[in-house]
Every structure is written in structure tokens, then in C-alpha cells.
Amino acid sequence: MEGFRNEMKMEFLAISSNEGFARVAVGAFVSELDPTVDELADIKTAVSEAVTNCIIHGYEQKEGNIWIQCSILGKMVEISVTDTGKGIKDIALAREPLFTTKPELERSGMGFAFMEAFMDEVEVVSEPWKGTCVTMRKVIGESRMA
């Protein structure tokens, strides 16, 4: 399994009905690593948060596309979720738990906190009016060895 490598890319419209599609597609791709039920739930939740952010914040529920690139290297899964929306002004602030720019939409401000809790690493690259790319990594099977 050490040198095992696989990769996939997908592009879809930034509409809320694609949130379910995106997390299920990534979940299916990752399933060949034989993740536990919890690991799979972690990945799906993290993808759902990232995609929801693109739709609500990146594009503010207007038209746009979302790209997901997912690769498997040995037991590590790397997932990048990219939009070309409005970007994040202050990334450190956006990542703070409970911080939200959209309280009127009853957003909880827990999106990034969940990505961080459920994945091993989360990297955010963003530029105002160019877009945002969130890259998340997780090693599968670690919890079983512990």
C-alpha cells in the first residue's frame, strides 16, 4: 500500500444540491483505502463544510464553479476544494471557531473548526476577488493502529 497512488478531479456548479454529491463522490473515491465508518464520516463532513463555504461565502449564492482535486498517496488522502469567488480578507479570523460573516443566514461559524477537527491538516490559500483554495490532508488507518 506504501507506494499506492490515485487521483481524481471534478468540477461542478456552486449550488447547494451539489453539496451532497461532492461529499459522496469524495467518500466513494477514498473508500478503496478501507476507511473506518468514523474516518469516512470525518472526510465527508470536512468536504461538506468546504463546499458549503464556496457556495455561501465564495460566490454568495450566485453563479460559479467549484473544483475538487483528490489524491491518494499511500495511506494519505489530500483533498483540495477551490473556487474563484470573492476570497477571504482575513484568513486567521475566518478560521476562528464561531466567527461568521453571515449570522443573518444562521451560520454557526464552525465550518473551518470542523475541517480542522476532522482532518489532520488544513491549509487555506486565498486572494480577494481571485478565489480560495482549501487543502486538507488525512492519514487513513491511523486510529486503528493506535
Partner 1 sequence: MDYRFEKEYGCLVLRMPEELDHHQAEFVKEEADGLILKYPVRSLIFDFADTRFMDSSGIGVIIGRCKNVRFSGGYVKAVNLNGQIERIFRLSGLKKIIEVE
Q: Which of 141, 146, 49 is nearest to 95 (CA)?
A: 49
**From the CB of 41, what's the least distance to partner 1, in Å?**
4
Q: Contact between 63 and partner 1 (CB under 8 A)?
A: no
Q: Which is closer to partner 1, CB of 71 or CB of 101?
A: 101
Site string for partner 1, 9-48 (x = CB under 8 A): -------xx-xx--x-------------xx--x--xx--x
Q: Contact between 75 and partner 1 (CB under 8 A)?
A: no
- Measured CA to CA, the distance from residue 118 to residue 79 in angstroms comes to 13
- For residue 49, indicate whether it is catalytic: yes
Which grid coordinates are listed for 53? 463555504
- For residue 5, indicate whether it is catalytic: no
Q: Contact between 55 and partner 1 (CB under 8 A)?
A: yes
Q: Which is closer to partner 1, CB of 1 or CB of 117?
A: 117
Query: How many other CB atoms are found less than 10 A from the CB of residue 123?
Result: 12
Q: Contact between 113 and partner 1 (CB under 8 A)?
A: yes
- For residue 107, indicate whether it is catalytic: yes
Q: Which is closer to partner 1, CB of 57 or CB of 86?
A: 57
Q: Which is closer to partner 1, CB of 17 or CB of 146?
A: 17
Instruction: Classify the C-alpha dihedral 124-127-129-133 as positive or negative.
Output: negative
Q: Contact between 91 and partner 1 (CB under 8 A)?
A: no
Instruction: Cite the active site residues.
Output: 49, 53, 107
